[in-house]
Structures are given as structure tokens and as C-alpha cells.
Structure 1
Amino acid sequence: MNILPSTLYLHSLFLGVTGDKIIDGKEAKPHSRPYMAFLHIGKVGKICGGFLIHPNFILTAAHCQRQNINVLLGAHDFSKNEESQQVIPVEAIIPHKCFDNLTLANDIMLLKLKYRANITHAVKTIRIPKRDEDFSICKCSVAGWGYAKTNGNDNSVLREVKVRVDFLCYFFLNSPQNKYFIFQGDSGGPLACHGILNMPTAVGIVSYASKGCDDPQSIAYIRVSAYWDWIQMTIKKYSAA
């Protein structure tokens, strides 16, 4: 069995991606990504993305951890009081035990919600891949509420970037015609690809970029399948608590 690395380095030479903000993407169709979670973090007002993988659990990046996280589900425009929205406090913040805040190794975290999300047309879970699941030649996308322009204002509506992944989508995003960017505010969101039975699958977690916007080099995603066992064991442990 091949041992795949836990971090995906997706080079901007092919994609034009840097940081954790979507620039020049497009507004997503409202509630077309019902698994998306908006994380409002602490008193500083920091935001991150995340995604619902279980009615009680959000998966996101460990570098988003702070005290007092509230999760907003079912949102398209978080600045509005949409009827579809559900605001749920986080009961337990569970970063991977080997997370390194300096290198961002093992940049993955589960959030246990204080109470179960109500599954509706606007709030649904997304599947995650098993350790040995293959994704060769697939269509993927990234979405979030991060800034929509370099040095711009906050973006309150969900935006998305669609990319085509060729060869082994774990390693290369081959889409030279798409010059989109991901930057501040979108950390923790999913790299979503079509998996088994064409179902949306969270293949990666937006982690970081090695260069700034003026010198785009590469963006790193955390490979979700590498943490399949940890995710399942953690959910089981905290569900029994």
C-alpha cells in the first residue's frame, strides 16, 4: 500500500492560488454547498471556514483554534438574518495532538457542537474519503467567505472557485486558465471533489500558502484521508462523553 503524505502542495504554476482568500471567484448559488460552516472566533472577530461531517462535528484547520467559537450553518450571506441559518456554540475544541503551530504540520481540528445541527435543505453533511480512496482526474472546488479582493473589504457572501484536477489530484491542480486566489478568512474550508457515486467529498482542508499575494508560489491543503482513523476515533470518543 502506498503511504501518501498528509499535506497536499498544490502549485500556483498550474492554478494561480495563494494564501487563504478567494479572489476573482464567483458568488456561489445560495445553499448549493450546505456543508459549509462559517466560524466566528473569539472576541477578535477572526473568521475561518469549516465543514459539517456529522450532525455534531465540524472539521476545520487547527490554526483556527481560539476560545469561544460559534458556528454558523445554513448561511449564504452571513450579514443577513436568513431563515436557513443555525447558530451553534462549540462545546469542545479538538486539535490534532501533533499539531505544530509553527510549521502547521497536522493542521486539522474537530469541533464538537453544543447540540446537533438540524439537517435541512441548507444544512447537510459532506462525506470524507477513507485512507485508501483514489481521486484521479476529478473536478474540485474551494469555497469560503474570505476577502474577495486584495486589500479589500470583508466579503459576506459565499464565493467559490472551481478547478479541474488532472493526473493525481492529490498532487497537482492543472487549470492554467483559472487565475483565482484563496486568502484570509477561508482557512479551514474544504477542497471538495467528486468522489464515489459522484458525491461531493472533502478531500482537503485549506491550510496555508508559502508565499504572499504578490509572489504566489503554492498552497497547502491537509489531506483528510490521512486522518480518517483519528477523525473516526475522536468522534466516537466525544460522542460517548
Structure 2
Amino acid sequence: MLLVDWVAITAVCVGIAGVSGDKIIDGTEAKAHSRPYMAYLEIHINNKIYCYGGTLIHPEFILSAAHCQGESIMALLGAHDLSKRNRSWQVIPVMDILPHENYNNATQANDIMLLKLKRTARITNEVQTISIAKSNEVFKIDTLCSVAGWGTTVTKGPISHVLREVDGKIQANCPSDSQICARGPGSKGTCNGDSGSPLICSDSKNSPRAVGLVSYRDRKTCEDVHRRNVYTKVSAYQDWIENKIKSLSSD
């Protein structure tokens, strides 16, 4: 299905209840097309539509969270305001849905997924790839990073039509070495609908890197100031990502 009516579609998008899934809380609207690697994902499961985020890391591949998998997925690249059709939009069906083989739905371990696009994305000013963090890169505690998404801005609210962003710092004591915890002060962080969106940090050369993927929170509400926003640590899966792309790309 082509995304013919984004106003209607964004109105009916639902988030998965419970700890899985996150949205931007207490953030601000991003500058239009300032994050050209962002992908808006429309996930179809049992005749329902779920809306999540992803990261364009290769002209043929989007990186997202494994719990965002569905029966079919449509990707929208080059978007900012979902209610206003724009020439920059590229609507591309996902051909192959590739969750990590050891993804655990109960614990959210290995919550990472690659999506192979049916056709190669056109690289433009509004649609660009971003590099992933490498296994030998270290992002220390208190490193300032940011996350963006079209998720809701209150726990049970509708998703945002415009891309929103919020800063946060990497925290200590995350559940495992293959995960990163990060959030801002107070309630600043992610919530339902932002799942799969990237945590972006600057490397030693001040270049942006996709360091994490929104995975889950450990409290019921997104506004809980004691919650942890947990991200899949991308660098822990560098080999898995590169091997999948190498075996499946048309290059």
C-alpha cells in the first residue's frame, strides 16, 4: 500500500503497550531535514498500523529495533511534517525484514533489525545515510547525545506529525554491555512511537554517529522521572550489520 493519506494514517497509528516502544518527551521540534538519515516506518500487524523510527545507514538498508518487525513495512524517507506531502519524500516498501537471529521478545536482548529496501534510496539534501558507531569507539558516561522521532509527547497521546528531538546524556548501570541508557533531566527522553529511532552522538572528530536504537523503558509512563530509556548498543552489532549488508546488497 502506498502512503496515500498521511493525515489519516498518522491519526490511527498505535503504539505497542507496556515497556516496549518510546516517544519524545519534553523535547522540541527539529529543524526541517536537519536529520536526513531519519526514516518513518509504517508497520502492518494483524490489520493494525504501528508507527516507528529507523535510520538510513546504506542506500538500501534501514536500521531499526527488532521489536518493530511486522507482516509488512513501508518506509518514508525525507520527511519532516507527516501531514504535508513534500517533494523530498521517498516512499519505499521494505523487501526483507531481518531481525537479529537471537532477539528475545521477553527481555529485549538483541533488539536490532535491518530492513532491506525494495529499491535503492536516492541520496539528496533531505535523504542521506549516517555512519554507525564502530566496535572500537567508546562513548563515555555523561556524553551528550540526542534522539529524534515522531512518537507521542505524552504517554497515551497521538504521535507527533513533526519530527521532534531531545538531548540526553549516556548514563551508567545499563542492563547489559550490548545496551546503552541515556536520557535528559526531568522527564526529557523517549516514549511510545520512537522505537527504532537512533541515539546520535559525536565521535572524536565531532562527526555524528548512530550509537543506539530506542528499545524500551523500564517504567510504565514516559513521564516517570526515575525511568531508564534503554537503547540497543549499535557498536556491539557492527559485524552482524556489516555481514548482512555485504551478503544482501546489490553493490
Q: TM class by shorter-chain length?
A: 0.7 to 0.9
- Checking the alignment, whether the CA contact within 8 Å between 1:19 and 1:211 is kept in structure 2 is no
Among 120, 132, 138, the alignment partner of 2:136 is 132
Unaligned runs of 5+ in 2: 1-19
Conserved 8 A contact 1:55-1:119: yes
- What residue identity is the alignment partner of 2:41? L
Q: Which moved more, 1:205-214 or 1:102-111?
A: 205-214
Matches within 5 A, 1:78-157: 78-136=82-140, 138-157=143-162
1:204 equivalenced with 2:209 (yes/no)? no
Give me the identity figure in percent.
52
Aligned positions of 1:50-69 closer than 5 A: 50-69=54-73
Q: Distance in 2 between matches of 1:224 and 1:73?
A: 21
Return the letter of the residue paired with 1:195: D
Measure, in 2, the Cα distance between the counterparts of 1:155 and 1:166. 27
Task: Give the match for residue 23 of structure 1.
Answer: 25
Task: Output the TM-score relative to the length of structure 2.
Answer: 0.82
Deviates more, 1:93-102 or 1:144-153: 144-153
CA distance in 1 between counterparts of 2:181 and 2:247 reads 35
Aligned partners of 2:217 and 2:169: how far apart in 1?
Answer: 19
Residue number in structure 2 paired with 1:230: 240
Determine if the alignment matches structure 1 residue 73 to structure 2 residue 77: yes
2: CA distance, partners of 1:132 / 1:174: 23
- Cα distance change on mapping 1:119 and 1:152 into 2, 3 Å: same
Q: Could you tell me how far apart the structure 2 residues matched to 1:114 and 1:30 are?
A: 26
Check whether the contact 2:215–2:231 (CA below 8 A) recurs between aligned residues.
yes
Give me the whole-angstrom Cα distance separating, in 1, the residues matched to 2:169 and 2:227: 18
1:192 aligns with 2:197: no
Question: Which of these residues, 230, 237, 240, is aligned with residue 220 of structure 1?
Answer: 230
Cα-Cα RMSD: 2.3
Q: Which amino acid aligns with 2:106?
A: L
Q: Tell me the secondary structure at the aligned position of residue 229 of structure 1.
A: helix
Which whole-Å CA distance do the structure 1 matches of 2:158 and 2:220 have between them? 18
Corresponding residue SS for 2:249: helix
Number of positions where the alignment pairs a residue of Structure 1 with one of Structure 2: 223
* Counterpart residue identity of residue 68, structure 1: S
Could you tell me how far 1:44 is from its partner in structure 2?
Answer: 1.1
Question: Which residue identity lines up with residue 199 of structure 1 in the other structure?
Answer: S
Corresponding residue of 2:12: none
- Conserved 8 A contact 2:82-2:161: yes
Unaligned runs of 5+ in 1: 1-17
Deviation string 1:103-149 (CA, Å, 9 cap, x unpaired) is 11100000000011000111111110111112235320010000122
- Shift in alpha-carbon separation, 1:238–1:167, aligned structure 2, 3 A: same
Aligned to 1:158: 163
Aligned mates of 2:55, 2:241 — CA distance in 1: 13
TM-score where L is the length of structure 1: 0.85
For the 8 Å contact 2:167–2:184, the answer to whether it is kept is: no
